[in-house]
Every structure is written in structure tokens, then in C-alpha cells.
Amino acid sequence: MQTLDLAQSDLRTLNATLQTAATAGGNETAWEVVNPRGAHALAVGLDGPLSVTVRGSTGYYCAGMNKQATVQVAGSAGPGVAENMMSGTVVVEGDASQYAGATGRGGLLVVKGNASSRCGISMKGIDIVVFGNVGHMSAFMAQAGTLVVLGDAGEALGDSLYEARLFVRGSVRSLGADCVEKEMRPEHHALLADLLERAGAPAAPEEFRRYGSARRLYNFDIDNASAY
């Protein structure tokens, strides 16, 4: 394992080293970052099967736009962790701040603690599994992908939802505009079972409820104006 120390090197050097290693695809695929000290934009834009462990907490946009790489934050993550992820895996051992997994188009984001507000906002295909709770406006305008919450969800879950699938084990404070509870069919159990297993989440599919779009806001109708 190679070690990068943010107390020794600067952010540009660190990211350039990881980015080059990711695309070069050599034998050295395991990296660790020490002394992250809440730095922003850590391990962003990786494009290759690298495995990076950040030993500590990060600032904004850790693992932003990740492709293929596995990034593990052995601490908590600031806003926008794994934003616009395309593929790969990002695991946060602690909590995640706002907009975790925002606009993500693929890959798996696992938050072992809680996630804050707007988790999965505008998600476009990413899978997100949160072991704890998620804050208000989570999955706002979520287009595709799956958000799984083992704990509770805050206010206005799934507001203006498109086709993303939401599963919550605990309580939901309130549902957002056009988000409704839906029946759990066998295919949903299968999907959820697979995701829970991949995330290593301590929960069973039958404990969850499913939420999705009522699709009433898909085409403008004046009688729904108050919901827009």
C-alpha cells in the first residue's frame, strides 16, 4: 500500500498522483491518504480500479465524479461526497453531510452513519445505502437509481421525484410533492436484498417500505399548480 500524507504534500500533488495511478492501472492499486484534516475535493475525478482509504474526515466533494475506483473514508465526509459518481464504490464509515451522492449516475455509495439533508438530490442512477437516518429533502428530484435508508427519513422525502426508487426501514417524517408509498413486489425484494448485501447492511428486505413517484407532475396540469 502506498501512502500519501496531506501534511507533507499539497492537494494538487495528491490528486494528480491518484488520478495518474488510476488511469495508468499499474500494480499499485492500494493507496491510503493520511492527515486529510477536512480537506475539500480529495480523491476527485478518479478513473480506474484504484482502492483509496482516507484515514480521517474530509471536506466537500470527496470522491467527486468517481469512476471505477473504491474510496473509503475512515471518518466522516463533508457535503457532496461522491457527487456525480459514475461507477465504483464510495464508503463513508462515519456520517455524511448534505447532498451525499448528489446527481450520481452510477456506482454505490454507502454511508455507515447518518446522512444529512438532500441525500441523493437529483440522483441519476447511483445506488445509495445509508445505515442511519437521512435529513430533509432527500432524493429531491431524483431521476433514477435507488436510495435505501435503514433509519428514518426527514421531511419531504422524494419531493418532485422522477423514477428513482426509495426504500426506508424506519419512519418518514413526511413525503414530498408527488412521492407516495408503493407496494413491495418480489422484484423490489430482490433488488433490495442485493443492494443490502453489497453494502454489507445489517437489515432484511422485508423490514422496508417502498416509495416512488405518483407521476402526477410529469406533465403540467393547472389543477396541480400548488404542487409545482
Partner 1 sequence: MSDDTPPRARTVPVQSATFSPEINAEIRRAAETGIYDIRGGGAKRRVPHFDDLLFLGASISRYPLEGYRERCDTNVALGTRHATKPLELDIPITIAGMSFGALSGPAKEALGRGATMAGTSTTTGDGGMTEEERGHSRQLVYQYLPSRYGMDPDDLRRADAIEIVVGQGAKPGGGGMLLGQKISDRVAEMRTLPKGVDQRSACRHPDWTGPDDLEIKILELREITGWEKPIYLKIGGTRPYYDTALAVKAGADVVVIDGMQGGTAATQDVFIEHVGLPTLACIRPAVQALQDLGVHREVQLVVSGGIRTGADVAKALALGADAVSIGSAAMIALGDNDPKWEAEYQALGTTAGAYDDWHEGRDPAGITTQDPALAARLDPEAAARRLRNYLKVMTLEAQTIARACGHNHLHNLEPEDLCAVTMEAAAMARVPLAGTDWWPGKPGGGL
Interface with partner 1 (CB under 8 A):
11-12, 15-16, 19, 40-41, 44-45, 47, 59-61, 64-65, 67, 79-80, 83-84, 86, 98-99, 102-103, 105, 118, 121-122, 124-125, 140-141, 143-144, 160, 162-163, 218-220, 222-223, 228
**Shortest spacing between CB 44 and partner 1, in angstroms:** 5
Between 153 and 177, whose beta carbon lies closer to partner 1?
177
Q: Strand 30-34 vs strand 179-182: parallel, antiparallel, or unpaired? A: unpaired
Q: How far apart are CA 57 and CA 207, in angstroms?
A: 31
**Shortest spacing between CB 60 and partner 1, in angstroms:** 5
**Shortest spacing between CB 9 and partner 1, in angstroms:** 14
Between 84 and 89, whose beta carbon lies closer to partner 1?
84
- Cβ-based burial of 208 (10 A; exposed 0-12, middle 13-18, buried ≥19): buried
Between 53 and 122, whose beta carbon lies closer to partner 1?
122
Between 133 and 160, whose beta carbon lies closer to partner 1?
160
Between 81 and 150, whose beta carbon lies closer to partner 1?
81
Between 101 and 205, whose beta carbon lies closer to partner 1?
101
